[in-house]
């Protein structure tokens, strides 16, 4: 996989009208992103108001909808979806329609236990490493080699060296790396990933704007721009 589309994230339609919430919207945006060049989909299951949910029925609806695009589908397990670690674990354990993979933010409380539950259910784990401290904790974890990839996430206000530091720390981890940015760091990090030959991602979760600063029409617009950059 070279490019993954992150089609909604924790955003709501109030931030951009193309942010998909319903199953039909998720299906439409996923198919459009794949036609533009994406090879996998990362989706946040949503409540009707656009907020994120880990409830089994919401996960089922989102995964089934995204799979209409015909590529692997992953979901979030972000703590904002269910702040209490015990409730988060209970929700994930109740899933019956399983995604191909799920991201686990290693800096969040309960990350190890969330990853363990996912692995026990046969769901691939992307270790979300947002900073050097999280990367160190993951590198020391006995679950490291059981993860399908390390998801290096450069934050909007990070300096350019953060991406390089995260790559240097994890390049010998024994699992594939996906490098991407969000907000102001998005396009420069995508270009860095391309120059290093690393998979990356793009979509309305990470940015609303194209490389020239103009507002993207939707996920397909961003994916097409990323393909051109890579």
What confidence tens digit (pLDDT) does each residue in 139-189 have? 999 999 999 999 999 999 888 799 999 999 999 999 999 999 999 999 999
CATH of the domain at 52: 3.20.20.70
What confidence tens digit (pLDDT) does each residue in 198-222 have? 999 999 999 999 999 999 999 999 9
- By the 8 A CB rule, do 49 and 41 touch? no
Per-residue model confidence (pLDDT) at position 40:
98
Task: Give percent of the chain above pLDDT 70.
Answer: 100
Angle, helices 219-229/23-36, rounded to nearest 10 degrees:
20
Bigger pLDDT: 124 vs 159: 124
φ, ψ of residue 93 to 5 degrees: the values are -65, -25
For range 66-86, the mean pLDDT: 95
Instruction: Using CA atoms of 1, 17, 88, 116 in order, give the dihedral in degrees to the nearest 10.
Output: 0
Residue with tokens 């015990």: 86
Per-residue model confidence (pLDDT) at position 159:
83
Per-residue model confidence (pLDDT) at position 61:
98
**pLDDT-based confidence at residue 17 (cuts at 50, 70, 90):** very high
Mean pLDDT of the chain: 96
DSSP 216: P
For range 5-34, the mean pLDDT: 98
> How many domains are contained in the chain?
1
* Residue-number span of the structural domain to which 22 is assigned: 3-229
Return the ∠ at Cα 199 (arms to 14 and 148), rounded to 5°.
95
Residue 83 has pLDDT above 80, yes or no: yes
Three-class DSSP category at 114: helix
| β-strand partners of 3 | 200
């Amino acid at each position: 996989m070279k490019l993954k589309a992150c089609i909604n994230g924790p955003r709501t339609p109030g931030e951009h009208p193309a942010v998909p919430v319903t199953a039909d919207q998720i299906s439409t945006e996923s198919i459009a992103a794949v036609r533009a060049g994406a090879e996998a989909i990362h989706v946040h299951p949503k409540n009707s108001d656009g907020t994120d949910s880990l409830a089994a029925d919401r996960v089922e609806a989102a995964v089934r909808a995204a799979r209409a695009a015909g590529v692997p589908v992953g979901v979030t397990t972000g703590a904002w979806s269910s702040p209490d670690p015990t409730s988060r674990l209970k929700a994930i354990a109740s899933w019956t329609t399983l995604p191909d993979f799920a991201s686990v933010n290693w800096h969040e409380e309960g990350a190890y236990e969330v990853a363990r539950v996912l692995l026990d259910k046969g769901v691939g784990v992307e270790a979300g490493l947002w900073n050097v401290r999280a990367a160190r904790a993951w590198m020391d974890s006995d679950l490291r080699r059981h993860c399908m990839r390390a998801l290096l996430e450069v934050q909007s206000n990070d300096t350019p060296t953060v991406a390089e530091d995260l790559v240097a720390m994890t390049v010998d981890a024994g699992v594939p790396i996906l490098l991407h940015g969000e907000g102001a760091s998005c396009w420069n990090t995508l270009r860095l990933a391309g120059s290093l030959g690393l998979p990356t991602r793009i979509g309305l979760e990470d940015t609303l704007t194209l490389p020239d600063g103009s507002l993207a029409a939707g996920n397909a617009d961003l994916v097409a721009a990323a393909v051109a950059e890579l």
